[in-house]
Chains A and B, each alone.
Chain A
Amino acid sequence: MSISAPRYAAAPVPLQGREGRVLALFTREVVARFGWGTGLVVGLSYASVVLIIVVSAEFSSIVGGPTVGSFYFPYASPIWPFLVLIGATAVGAGCISEDLGSRSITLFLSRPIHLTDYLGAKASAVAFWIGLMSIGPGLLGVALVGALGLAPLSVTLPAAAAYLASGLLTTLFFTALAVLLSSVTTRALYAGVGMFGITLSAEIAGSAVSGATGNSAVGYVSPIVDLQSSASAIFQTGATTLTVPAASAALLIGASVLFFLVAWLRLSRVEVVGE
């Protein structure tokens, strides 16, 4: 081993500001979050959604021309949001729990960064992948439809905007859920199980129970019902939904904010210097 410690006789290197450090966190996290699970799901979602969009636009153009509302169909069944849930779990379940389990979070927080920077970078990295998966396919499909001349610009542009908006809502909610559950356990597995468990039971409660009891207010409990409802309004399908779309959207946004807050509170109690 070298017996002389590295000496930095030159003037001290000007340190990067906060943006540089957060960027470092973000880029590293984006790379770290990508695993075979993520890749599989992203690939699947693109393939499936793009295919379906193009095929059905093909059919609609034969029938009488697609409208913005006809692009709503990915949200029409719960399968699409569940696909995003699978992806969100693959990406996000381990994002903070790994750091808690290895206790490397204590090193992160001993650095000159705020907890907000850490949490923000983690959430953004997770949101990056979830967004890629939930917004990307729709936009790509719409672009192809436009390129193939299957629908006019007056339809494709609003449709693209609608995919963007509903995709953002989807991304926001699932990111927040992943971040919250990942921050309360040291095992990614538990966080993942939690994400499924909560969404699944909420969906059963929301759609099945409300269908059985005829009480549509219960529908608000299920995030998937809320997503479908909001998307339905965004795509101007004109169909009647289980819940009031505006309220559903507000609920999703409110819940997401709450999840982030709880995650922040829980992480602020981590003992950086301890036994």
Chain B
Amino acid sequence: MIPAELPLFELQGVTKEFGVQPALSGLSARIRPGTIGLLGPNGAGKTTLIRLLMGLIPPSGGAVRVFGYDPSRNPLEVRERVGYMPEHDCLIPSMTGVGFVAFMGRLSGLPKETAIGRAHDVLQFVGIHEERYRKIGEYSVGMRQRVKLAQAIVHDPPLCFLDEPTAGLDPAGRAEMLHLLQVLSQLPHRSLVVSTHLLPDVEGLCDEILLLNAGRLLASGALAPLLAGHSAETVIRFKGDAERFTERLVAKGLLPRREGSTLRLTLPAEGERAVFEAAYESGTQVRSLGRSVGTVEELFLSLVNAPLQEAPP
């Protein structure tokens, strides 16, 4: 068990080079236990960072510590305390759900009986019931994702890496998976690092973020202060004639931007009244109105600052 004051993992000036192009350069961060969102465009270095933290590759320079261990020197000690849920398919179709998860538990060092018991526990938790006795080859996409999660937590690791945990899931499956992760994240002494492209999921789940771009750390730390320091927009969801509504808002000196069934704009203090007036005058319904403190997506886009029309390397 890890006391809360000790950092989960630490990076000091970490660099990693494959050939000429550095995959990571000058990364320094001290991350407390909790639920962390690992974010960044494709090619930003998230995968490399996870590999480094799990002791699968050594850094080219700098120091890495996970639970106080150096992963390149003590990879097994680190991996005993780490669970990994990959994005890609990785299950053995010929094994049963419970057989597979128990086997993975044994590979993490659990004695045989304990492994079987815990396999049943975690499969119950992720919502796989009688199907656990059937072969994984017969499972649906949703069930496979859940087995992936189960094998990542069967040995009760204090740190779990989750790579796109909601990938391929339909809306019901997404909601369930996010709920499971919520429950997991509330447990004491259990930390999650979630790598995902779906930023609103991060908002609901993570206390902290690590934002990478082109191998560098753009932002790290608690989410709330990062968002609060960010300029806030108001989002209006409406129903009715978009043109007339926009026209009335413009007449009141506001500059709305339309996105589907929403409008985004910056409101002055007590500007909500103007919104309702514009709605009344144009016969529009206001369905929701919120001066958000700024979403993770806005933070992300402004920090990454990609000019439109440019693809990642």
Contacts and interface: CB of A to CB of B under 8 A. Distances in A.
Contact, chains A and B (beta carbon distance below 8 A): yes
A1 B127 CA distance: 5
A2 B104 contact: no
A12 B156 contact: yes
B50 interface: yes
B231 to A, nearest CB: 34
A15 B111 CA distance: 7
User: Chain A: interface secondary structure?
Assistant: loop
Contacts of A266: none
B245 interface: no
Interface stretch (A3-11, A71-79, A152-160, A228-236): A3-11
A24 interface: yes
Nearest to A24: B106
Contacts of A3: 183
A102 B90 contact: yes
B299 to A, nearest CB: 25
Contacts of B286: none
Contacts of B112: 24
Interface stretch (A105-113, A134-142, A164-172, A198-206): A105-113
User: Which range holds the interface residue count of chain B?
Assistant: 35 or more
Contacts of A64: none
B79 interface: yes
Interface in A15-43: 15-18, 20-21, 24-25, 28, 32
Chain B residues touching A, majority SS: helix
Interface stretch (A187-195, A214-222, A246-254, A267-275): A267-275
A6 B121 contact: yes
A239 interface: no
Contacts of A2: 124-125, 127
Contact of A24 (B50, B103, B127): B103
B67 interface: no
Contacts of B94: 32
Contacts of B51: 272-273
A103 B89 contact: yes
| Residue with the greatest number of chain A CB neighbours at <10 A, chosen from B54, B91, B106 | B106
B122 interface: yes
Contacts of B124: 1-2, 6
A274 B88 contact: yes
Contacts of A12: 1, 156
A104 interface: yes
A107 B156 contact: no
Contacts of B121: 6
A212 interface: no
A31 to B, nearest CB: 10
A6 B93 CA distance: 26
Interface in B209-230: none
Interface of B: 1, 47, 50-51, 54, 56, 75-80, 82, 84, 86-94, 103-104, 106-112, 114, 118, 121-122, 124-127, 151, 153, 156, 161, 163, 176, 180, 183-184, 187
Given A112-B107, A273-B86, 20 more contacts: A4-B125, A12-B1, A13-B110, A15-B80, A15-B109, A21-B107, A21-B109, A32-B94, A99-B92, A102-B92, A103-B88, A106-B88, A107-B86, A107-B91, A108-B107, A110-B79, A111-B108, A113-B107, A273-B54, A274-B47
Q: What 10 A-B pairs have minimum CB-CB distances, sorted nearest first?
A: A15-B109, A1-B127, A112-B79, A24-B106, A6-B121, A112-B76, A111-B107, A110-B84, A112-B80, A103-B90
